Amino acid sequence: MAITPVTPGALAGLAAPTARPASLEPSKDGGFGDALRDLIGKVEGTSAEANDAVGRMLNGTGDVHEAMIALQRADTMVQLTVQVRNKLVQAYQDIMRMPV
């Protein structure tokens, strides 16, 4: 039985859980740092989209539903990023507690 990984795109409703978007694939030239940089860029992008959607809603040119969906997507991406950060800090602390 194969276990499929949970991707940030699947959590934010951006892709199906079994599909992995090409933009989230690790780059051949970069490593983990590039993956984190890409994740932070996506968080900033969803946050900007949410701000735009709220601005359109306030101007009367947008829909309340679109604004709420954009806000939920941005919130989910921020929560994902915070959890990744928490796991990184926990891993660092575990390594620092290892006896030499």
Contact 51, 66 (CB under 8 A): no
Instruction: List pLDDT tens digits, range 17-74.
Output: 455 555 555 556 678 888 889 989 999 999 999 999 999 999 999 899 999 999 999 9
How far is 45 from 81, CA to CA, in rounded Å?
13
pTM above 0.85, yes or no: no
User: Using 50, 70 and 90 to split pLDDT, how confident is the model at 7?
Assistant: low
User: Using 50, 70 and 90 to split pLDDT, how confident is the model at 15?
Assistant: very low
User: Using 50, 70 and 90 to split pLDDT, how confident is the model at 82?
Assistant: very high
